[in-house]
Amino acid sequence: MDFELTEEQVLLGATVRDLLARAYDQESRLKTLETESGWSREVWSQLAELGVLGLSFDEEDGGAGAGPVETMVVLEELGRRQAPEPLLDAVLLPGGLVRAVGTAEQRQRILPEVAGGARLLAFAHDEPGSRWPDTEVAVTAVADGSGFRLSGVKNPVAHGDCADELVVSAVLPTGGTGLFLVAATAEGVRRTPYRTYDERRGAQIDFESAPAELLGGPEAGDASGAIAAAIVAAQASLNAEAVGAMTEALRLTSEYLKTRKQFGVTLSKFQALTHRAADMYVSLELARSMSYYATAALADGVTDPMIASRAKLQVDRSGRHIGQEAVQMHGGIGITTEYPVSHYVARLTAIGRTFGSDLEHLRLLADRVAGYGLAEL
């Protein structure tokens, strides 16, 4: 058993950390968030040059063939700096599906461009009223010559506003759920972009007989298993990002307690506050342990929704605890946008409601709790 990172993995984390530290100070980050896309094409190119965008793709698909641990390391750094670049939404999740389900031709057509930063994907899966772990989709696909046409509504689609190409789940004419490639500019595709409360971007996407290509070719069947596995991997990525965000939120809070004076002394003289900061540390370490657990399982080739829920339940609870306490201990400054801690809290809040909240993960675990005696790793 081993929970240490290799030298290469540590170096990867440090390199991404340096890049993001150079790319963003508080002011430039705020400016970037105000732009239409909400993130920086320039930083995106730098991440591409560094090989970060293609990290998890196979070498023949233009990637580095790295695994879940490397992904975790990078996401933790993005979370620590709250870099708004859509690595998970535009690359890892939809790209992972192309990698898992796509034909060799589709992979080679799409993935090298994604790894190079030239093409952005988005995973259009959620539908109005749906909620993890729903797998039923209502968007339909009808055969049309060698291709298909999709109709229905997807919302929310994370970073669907900027995607060049959409990976869309839809009901196959033969039943089951298929995955389709749809050009974002295709006729019959209407996008309604919006901002989210964690300062990211999203879109509703309406399909009206939009032309689509079946991912995996004409022989492809039901992709529900691949979708479930991709979501398990996405949950692990969100956990890692949340751990990075929590680490920084706690660091900012500790710094604040050491410097901010009230009643003539620093806040760190008040045990009522330092003990709460200690509890934040406990929450952080428990979340980190679970993030490592979920990632190590993925690295072993295990995509178990129970493990994913165990990890995300803890991460969501820790994220809520740390976020709320960080704001409270900062006082008024903690709820301003010009001070960074509010951004960490908003993002942790959104992560805690993406691909299942603590309520839903706890329900899944509770439903199965009678099925075994001792809980074992």
Asked if 304 contacts 232 with a C-beta cutoff of 8 angstroms, the reply is yes
Identify the burial level of 174 via C-beta atoms within 10 angstroms of its C-beta, where 0-12 means exposed, 13-18 middle and 19 or more buried.
exposed
Contact 201, 162 (CB under 8 A): yes
Establish if 287 lies at the interface with other proteins (CB under 8 A). yes
State the minimum distance, in angstroms, from the CB of residue 245 to other proteins: 17
Write the CA distances from 290 to 9, 180, 285, integer angstroms: 19, 33, 9
Which of 148, 180, 293, 344 touches other proteins (CB under 8 A)?
A: 293
Q: Does 272 bind other proteins (CB under 8 A)?
A: no
* 285 is a site residue for other proteins (CB under 8 A): yes
Asked if 52 and 74 touch (Cβ cutoff 8 Å), the reply is yes
Nearer to other proteins, 92 or 315 (CB): 315
Minimal distance, residue 311 CB to other proteins, in Å: 9
Q: How far is the CB of 97 from other proteins (least distance, A)?
A: 24
Residue 290 Cβ vs other proteins, minimum distance, rounded to whole Å = 5
133 contacts other proteins (rule: CB under 8 A):
no
Task: Write the DSSP string, 273-296.
Answer: HHHHHHHHHHHHHHHHHHHHHHHH
For residues 161 to 200, the per-residue mask of contacts with other proteins, x marking binding by CB under 8 A and - elsewhere, is ----------------------------------------
Q: Cβ 296 to other proteins, closest distance in Å?
A: 4
Q: What is the largest CA-CA distance in the chain?
A: 77
Binding test (CB under 8 A) with other proteins, winner from 1, 59, 185, 187: 1
Amino acid (one-letter) located at 30: L
Residue 304 per-residue DSSP state: -
Q: Can residue 71 be called a binding residue for other proteins (CB under 8 A)?
A: no
Round to whole Å and give the CA distance between 76 and 247.
9
Q: CB pairs under 8 A, 24+ apart, for 128-133?
A: 128/153, 128/155, 131/360, 132/231, 132/355, 132/356, 132/360, 133/305, 133/356, 133/360, 133/364
Run of H or E including 230: helix 224-259
Q: Which of residues 226-265 bind other proteins (CB under 8 A)?
A: 250, 254, 257-258
Nearer to other proteins, 123 or 293 (CB): 293
Question: Which residue in 237, 295, 354, 357 binds other proteins (CB under 8 A)?
Answer: 295
Nearer to other proteins, 10 or 143 (CB): 10
Whether the CB-CB separation of 178 and 169 falls below 8 Å is answered with yes
14 within 8 A of 77, measured Cβ to Cβ: no
Residue 7 makes contact with other proteins by CB under 8 A: no
> Residues near 17 by Cβ (< 8 Å), separated by ≥ 6?
77, 80, 81
The one segment of 112-120, 186-194, 276-284, 326-334 that binds other proteins by CB under 8 A = 276-284
Helix, strand or coil, per DSSP, at residue 158: strand
Binding to other proteins by residue 52, rule CB under 8 A?
no
The answer to the question of residue 304 lying near other proteins (CB under 8 A) is: no
Smallest distance from the beta carbon of 136 to other proteins, in angstroms?
22
Q: Which stretch binds other proteins (CB under 8 A): 111-119, 169-177, 192-200, 273-281?
A: 273-281
Query: Where does this chain bind other proteins (CB under 8 A)?
Result: 1-5, 69, 250, 254, 257-258, 268, 271, 274-275, 277-279, 281-282, 285-287, 289-290, 292-293, 295-297, 299-300, 310, 313-314, 362-363, 365-367, 369-370, 373-375, 377
